[in-house]
Structure 1
Amino acid sequence: MTTFTPLLPHKAQLGECPRYDERTQILYWVDITAPAIHAYNTLDNTHTVYATHEHVGCFALHEQGGFIAGMRSGIWYLDAQAKPIKKLADNPTDNSITRFNDGRADAKGRFWLGTVDEDKSQSVAAFYCFDGKQLTQFKSGLLTSNGVAFSPDNQYLYHSDTPRFTIYRHAFNLEEGTIDEGETFLSMPREIYGTGRPDGAAVDSEGYYWSALFEGNAIIRVSPAGEIVATYPIDVKCPTMCAFGGENLDILYVTSASIGRSQEELLQFPDSGKLFSMKVPVKGCLDYRCTFKL
């Protein structure tokens, strides 16, 4: 069986948001709490770190270059070296207890992203869409907004609330930039699945949803019917997000976390925090870029 292997010796505190740029063949990802955007050049195997001015939860590439980043204080336009150029929208909630977390661009170039309630006590996190002018809220009462992905035909938007062990599916109107109230796509109760809960995700070309199970040591592949059809173990307790990349989009890249983990766990899983890759038997989908005027 093919297995995940670490790509680099670097260990992130809270690695997240791997994103493959097919034009340059660079894989980008963030370290949220040691705030930076990382770049791994798959052509020459070089690794570059671009420090950011505050916690960065997610980003999308922009058609004109640079990054549209969901950060602690709001949504920012960063240049190609992650330097802040312009703040585009404020974090609507108290950024001493929330920050932007997971996000992804849609096929019309909008940016869908959500926040995290950092102490998990008030359910103050929410899920939004930013069209370049306005930040519109679509869901509230969340703990950790996560797992944003679109079906290949753009009929559905997937979204998870990690501490609630649940993945949701929403009917998606691409032209209008709206979603419906949604339905439970996959519930993962502890008594059946243990502590593993759905974190960041990606969708493959066949419409299957791949989710990293935080505290679950695995990546799962979920069918469009909401059934787990494959489980891929990974040698870290806390994988955080997956992304397809490589020349044929058949390499699955996975970020992971080391922050807040016990010494016992870090001894058991010494590669915690590293970036991993594995060739998979299906191709992924290219990520969209933001296209709104800056």
Structure 2
Amino acid sequence: MNQPKISVFYDIPCQLGEGPGYDPLTKNAWWFDIVTGRLFEKPLAGGDVAIHQLGQMASALAVVDAQHQLISTETGLVLRDRHTGVLKMHQPIEADNPITRSNDARVHPAGAFWIGTMGKKAEQGAGSIYWYRKGELRKIFNDITIPNSICFSPDGSISYFADTDKNIIWRVDTDPETGLPIGEPTEFYRHQEKGGVDGSVVDGDGNLWNACWGRSAVDVYSPSGKRIHSITMPVKQPSCPAFVSEDTASMIVTTAYHDMSEAYHKTDPDAGNTYLVELAGKGRFDRPVQL
């Protein structure tokens, strides 16, 4: 794999950048600053960045259509009208639990939204992963501290998720028609180096691209769980990648300065910027969610 071109996509830093994605219907990339409750949208071709104040912690987005988005927040799934900015609660998730918030999430090829929750202070085992599709919500995994790496094989038959606290990425067989897990998860990769497994996405060839928090890297794993490549990022805490092309593996990568001491932040002054990584390959876009 050739060395990528890495550039700053947006230089106003996020305290905890997360949940990047790309909408081919509007040709906009998006990402969040979780702790400040802000959604950022930027045309991929260039132009002004729109910053939307959501009024609560929010971490991920599923495209509904060219006008509507489904946003994962600390109280549940909120439907947002892109043109008016109006927010409407669609599906409460742990809305009565002030300890938790949403974290990593992604849409399965069947149109099911997998949503991770976690403690706002990363309380041990306070998190879960939920499945939502066509008005139905199910809790599919629990006792997770920091849910991450939610992503899916191109045919939807395999799902991945991680607990960053344990530094393990799991894989689980999945019904391609519904996005529901079949059987029990098995270990896909156990990270034993510096840093923690964070957000992931799967490309068109079935390889998993994982942002390694604290190791300045986006690592690429084959479907068998073997690391086959690593991209060095210019900041220490990359948090999540998302493809912005199906013809290449170009992606945006969110980063963070969350929990950095002042002294440590000075050693990583660009922390929190959102980056564009341009390279060859075969990217994939998430499907719209089935409401």
**What's the TM-score bracket when you normalise by the shorter of the two chains?**
over 0.9
Q: How does 1:150-229 map to 2 (within 5 A)?
A: 150-179=152-181, 180-189=183-192, 193-194=193-194, 196-229=195-228
Q: How does 1:60-209 map to 2 (within 5 A)?
A: 60-63=62-65, 65-80=67-82, 83-92=85-94, 95-179=97-181, 180-189=183-192, 193-194=193-194, 196-209=195-208
Give the superposition deviation at 1:263. 1.9
CA–CA distance in 2 between the matches of 1:58 and 1:260?
Answer: 20
Please give the TM-score of this superposition, normalised by the length of structure 2.
Answer: 0.93
* Aligned residue in 2 for 1:287: 286
> Secondary structure of 1:264's match?
helix
Q: What's the Cα RMSD here?
A: 1.7
Identity %: 25
Pair 1:203–1:65, CA change in 2 (3 A): same
> Secondary structure of 2:143's match?
strand
CA contact (8 A) 2:112 2:178 kept: no
Give the superposition deviation at 1:83. 3.5
CA–CA distance in 2 between the matches of 1:105 and 1:18?
Answer: 12
Number of equivalences: 288
CA contact (8 A) 1:249 1:285 kept: no
Give the superposition deviation at 1:221. 0.2
> Secondary structure of 2:264's match?
helix
CA–CA distance in 2 between the matches of 1:279 and 1:113?
Answer: 28
Q: Deviations over 1:143-199 (max 9, x none)?
A: 01111111012110111111110101010102243203110100012xxx12x1111
Please give the TM-score of this superposition, normalised by the length of structure 1.
Answer: 0.92
Give the superposition deviation at 1:141. 0.5
CA–CA distance in 2 between the matches of 1:33 and 1:228?
Answer: 32
CA–CA distance in 2 between the matches of 1:130 and 1:256?
Answer: 27
CA–CA distance in 2 between the matches of 1:50 and 1:159?
Answer: 28
* Aligned residue in 1 for 2:16: 14
Pair 1:163–1:142, CA change in 2 (3 A): same
Pair 1:153–1:5, CA change in 2 (3 A): same
* Aligned residue in 2 for 1:253: 252
CA–CA distance in 2 between the matches of 1:246 and 1:185?
Answer: 26
CA–CA distance in 1 between the matches of 2:143 and 2:86?
Answer: 30
* Aligned residue in 2 for 1:236: 235
Give the superposition deviation at 1:95. 3.3
CA–CA distance in 2 between the matches of 1:256 and 1:82?
Answer: 29
CA–CA distance in 2 between the matches of 1:247 and 1:229?
Answer: 20
CA contact (8 A) 2:73 2:102 kept: yes
Give the superposition deviation at 1:137. 0.7
Pair 1:40–1:25, CA change in 2 (3 A): same
Q: Give unmatched runs, 5+ long, in structure 2.
A: none
CA contact (8 A) 1:66 1:82 kept: no
Q: Give unmatched runs, 5+ long, in structure 1.
A: none
* Aligned residue in 2 for 1:268: 267
Give the superposition deviation at 1:92. 2.8
